[in-house]
Amino acid sequence: MTSEIDRIYLDNSATTAVDRKVINAMLPFFDVKYGNASSLHSFGKEATDALESSRRKVATAVGAMPKEVYFTAGGTESNNIALQGVMLKNKSRGNHIITSSIEHPAVLETCEFLETIGFEVTYLPVDKMGIVSLDDLDGAMTDKTVLVSIMHANNEVGTIQPIREIGALSHEHGALFHTDAVQSFGKIPIDVEYNNIDLLSISGHKVHGPKGIGALYVREGTPIQPIIYGGGHERGLRSSTENIPGIVGFGKACELISTHLDKDIISMTKLRDSLIKEILDSVPKTKLNGHPTKRLCNNVNISFEAVEGEALVLSLDRTGIAASTGSACSSKNFTASHVLLSMKIPDIMALGSLRFSLSRYNTQDEISYILDKIPPMVQRLRDMSSLWKEE
Ligand SMILES: Cc1ncc(COP(=O)(O)O)c(C=O)c1O
């Protein structure tokens, strides 16, 4: 079958196709409703109405109040505002932030910057499945801890953290809790109240919305300051003329999440599980990275012993399948990803990791096509590898 399959996109953790309904919602805001939300005339009013309507949709999708949602340029910016904005504002309370060793660079590099200006950062380790220990978190808390920032789900291996418990523990110690939910939003129901979250980062392009738009949820009353200054947009936290087409698209994508999520989770989980089981069954010396059950419904991350992840990605691309290396090797030094290293995955496996990330658009036919291609492809690469030892 599958001769009619042209290209298969299984790199949805990198970015997603924009939903047609999202595109249609955005279009008028490029050509007819192009006003600036700060303007007093009818064009401005149209933009303001769209801005506030989208804010309500984003708020609904995470269980927040609209006034707690701030639009940003994406997940990276949301993380930067959350970490820098909270730490700078609360200097008199303390200078300590706790995060994990497997965060996205948008958090890790921000923490490294904060260290250069005098803040102290604890990077918690994770276990073999990629989970942070609550005991470790408890032990790392000091009376100077202002903020705990632990991602909801990891972008490489899909492991889901116990964020509700992390939030509760942070609050017990008087610290605020931020979570980077860029990968989990649209894959796991999120309620900021239930999960004890004070700040939450999300991004449009990971959820069938446009690129260059995201949001930061900030619980009402949380002490935070801006990190860029200007015209006072987004109630002073994020100056710059609002990206209305992007915001409208993101709002529509959130509305679709609010209505579709349960169904999407069921369909993605089914495809994920069949992909994992069939690959592990049909290809020897393979291992699933990340937690078997506490994992994103759209994440498959498998290591193939003695295969280079990049070679596999390029071979797959030649057959029309878009995936990614789970290892994100640096082309210069071929070191494995910080996430897999933190999980103590041996190099020979870490360098051969492959990530498939699904979306609600993927089908069983596509999965069957991939399952046909993978075993001979892996064998071919192993036959060429000096590292491969067949038993
Ligand atoms: C966990 C996580 N955080 C943050 C980001 C950055 O989001 P954006 O591309 O919207 O800046 C990403 C993107 O890959 C991500 O996976």
Smallest Cα–Cα separation from 51: which of 255, 251, 217, 214?
Answer: 251
pLDDT digits (tens, 9 = 90+) for 36-52: 999 999 999 999 999 99
In this structure, what token pair is assigned to residue 305?
């012993």
Phi and psi at 258, nearest 5°, equal -60, -30
Active site residues: 329
Q: What is the per-residue pLDDT across 101-121, written as a single tens digit (0 to 9) for each?
A: 999 999 999 999 999 999 999
Domains of the chain: 8-16+261-383 (3.90.1150.10), 20-257 (3.40.640.10)
**Residue 55: pLDDT over 90:** yes
The two structure tokens encoding residue 91: 């200097």
CB-based burial label for 32 (10 Å; 0-12, 13-18, 19+):
exposed
Rg, Å, the chain Cα set: 22
The answer to whether 168 and 144 have CB atoms below 8 angstroms apart is no
Q: State the distance from the centre of ligand 1 to the C-alpha of 40, rounded, in angstroms.
A: 35
319 Cα–ligand 1 center, Å: 28
Sequence length of the chain is: 391
> What sign does the CA torsion over 177, 182, 183, 187 have?
positive
What are the tens digits of pLDDT across the range 237-293?
A: 999 999 999 999 999 999 999 999 999 999 999 999 999 999 999 999 999 999 999
User: Has residue 15 got a pLDDT over 70?
Assistant: yes
Edge-to-edge strands of the sheet including 299-304? 286-288, 299-304, 353-357, 324-325
Place of tokens 């889901």: 160
Q: How far apart are CA 249 and CA 208, in angstroms?
A: 9
Once rounded to an integer, what is the mean pLDDT over residues 60-74?
A: 98
Q: What's the token pair of residue 57?
A: 């949709």
Looking up tokens 């609550």 gives: 134
Of 109, 182, 205, 339, best ligand 1 pocket probe by most atoms within 8 Å of the beta carbon: 182
Quote the percentage of the chain above a pLDDT of 70.
Answer: 96
Q: What is the pTM of this model?
A: 0.96
Q: Between 162 and 329, name the one with better pLDDT.
A: 162
What pLDDT score does 326 carry?
Answer: 66
pLDDT band, residue 315 (cuts 50/70/90): very high
As a whole number of angstroms, the distance between CA 134 and CA 167 comes to 10
d(CA 33, CA 244): 9
Residue 219, classed as helix, strand or coil, is: coil
Cβ contact 336:350 at 8 Å: yes
Q: 175: closest CA among 65, 100, 98, 101?
A: 98
The pLDDT score that the predictor gives to residue 293 is: 97
Strand pairing category for 299-304 and 286-288: antiparallel
What totals of helices (H) and strands (E) does the chain contain, helices first? 12, 13
pLDDT at 91: 97
Q: Is the dihedral of CA 110, 111, 114, 116 positive or negative?
A: negative
- DSSP single-letter state for residue 283: S
Q: What is the pLDDT of residue 348?
A: 86
Pocket of ligand 1 (CB under 6 A): 74-76, 104, 106, 151, 155, 180, 182-183, 203, 205, 214
